[in-house]
Each structure stands twice: as C-alpha cells, then as structure tokens.
Amino acid sequence: MYLSTFYYFQLPTWMADRLTELQDAINLQAENLCNAIGVIQQVAQPSFFSDFNWASRSAKPEYQAFIQAQPTDDIARSFAVAISATAKQLDALIGALPEEEASADIQRATVHKLLEAYRSEGAKLARITTKLESRLADVRRCLTAIAQTQLTTQSLESEITCSC
C-alpha cells in the first residue's frame, strides 16, 4: 500500500556521476586529512608534561632513530600538496553543480527558445531539401540526355559500319 504511493526521486545520470565524483573527492580529502594527522602524531617530537611520564618512550633508541630518520619537511609538503589539490578539485566539482532548480518561467523560456531553433532548422532543412531535389531532377535530365546521345551515336555508328 505504501510502496505504491511512494515516488522515488531519480537523478539524471550526469548529475549522479557528478555527485559520485564529488563524494569520492570528499572521501579522498578526509583520507588525506586523517593520514596527515596520523603522520604528524607519528613523527612529532615528544613534549614534556609534568603529569605524564614520556621518558620511557623518548629514551628508547629505536624511537630516537625513527624520529631522526623521518624527513618531516617532505612529508608535510606532500600532504599539503595533496590536501590543496583535492580542495581545488572539490571546488571545481561544487562549481560544476547546478545552483538551483529552474523556475517554471525559466523552463518555459528555454522550451520556447528550443522550439524556435527547431522551427528555424526545420525550415532550413526544407529549403535545402527542395534545392537538392531540383538539382537531382537536373542531374536526371542530363543523364537522360547523355544516354539518348549515346544511343543515337551507337545507332549512327552501326549504320555507318553496315552500309560499308
């Protein structure tokens, strides 16, 4: 009972593709931000707080070697580039989306313009078709004249060869 009265809103395929692309870009940006935060947490130098005992972590030689081996500038730069590129992509995708639905007046005006263009192109097609039909009739008359001339020439040639 309820399903028969429920109408599904279906997006045009181009709109669904844009929304899917936008969702993918948002997911990529979220992944970039989460990864950047994770890397920052991983390579950050420990801070000393009197309430916490960081000495055990920072005193380990493998942790010190790991911290010193990380090129923090390259990591920060690569994440900054990735985040800014994805932000630009998001901006372009959002800018490509339609702003709002067109009002009935705008839709009527657009339909009217399309009908005018349809009528003018139809009239142009009719003129071209008439012109081409006239040319086709001329070509057929010329071909008939050529065929008649060839038949006359062949009959004259056969009379000349027979009388000799």
In angstroms, the CA 22 to CA 36 distance is: 21
Q: What is the pLDDT of residue 43?
A: 72
| pTM score, whole prediction | 0.43
H helical segments located in the chain = 2-5, 13-43, 55-58, 61-69, 72-96, 104-163
Residue 71 in this model has a pLDDT that exceeds 70: no
- pLDDT-above-70 percentage for the chain: 69
Residue 137 in this model has a pLDDT that exceeds 60: yes
Q: Residues 28-34: what's their mean pLDDT?
A: 92
Residue 93: which of 1, 23, 42 has the closest Cα? 23
